Amino acid sequence: MHSLFQNTKTMALKSTIYKIDLNIADMDRNYYAQHSLTLAKHPSETDERVMVRLIAFALYANGALIFGKGLSDDDEPDLWQKDLTGAIVLWIDVGLPTEKEIRKAAGRAKQVLVVLYGGRIADMWWTQNSKMLLKANNLTVINLPETQALAGIATRNMNISCTIQDTQILVSHDTGSFDISPITLKEAASY
């Protein structure tokens, strides 16, 4: 029995590491920076989800925003920003979190952002949850309706530029570029 346990342990899947040079030109926020990022892709995570996390970073980047453990830890978001006291200023979840997870995040953080993706599934999630979510004053929900192209550019070493203007994102990479048009479904009362 002991050897069976050892074999199971050695078969555990490991995260895939992505090295990303990200250049951000955000004209909406007057934020211009180059970030060298290391992103761990959880074994159950898709390339599309990794890249949506990267776009979420680009949209809200600043010197204090970092990637959390996300799928590896229920108590951490995909991205977050803390102040000097350790208080959570911004909590960002990617995907389709549960109502309970959003309520918990809203109680812990000054501002919460949910970044939806997945087309019709994201639309159905919003329809099912919008009534409750509209009551949360510190919650912003955006939908990235066209993220399939992001999965196609995911490689372990990437050079990506995101130009953001009038809420539109131009994603440029080594072999081309494409646009993403985020849709704001709910805006926080103050951000």
Cα 183 → chain centroid: 15
Please give the model's pTM, rounded to 2 decimal places.
0.88
Task: Say whether 126 sits in a helix, a strand or coil.
Answer: helix
Spatial contact of 122 and 95, defined as CB atoms under 8 Å apart: no
pLDDT (tens digit per residue) in 124-169: 999 999 998 988 899 999 999 888 888 889 888 999 999 999 999 9
Domains defined along the chain, listed by start: 15-186 (3.10.640.10)
Beta-carbon contacts of residue 159 (< 8 Å; ≥ 6 apart):
20, 21, 23, 173, 174
Kindly give the parts of the chain with pLDDT less than 70: 1-12, 70-74, 190-191
Q: Which amino acid is at 28?
A: D
- Say what the pLDDT of residue 135 is: 87
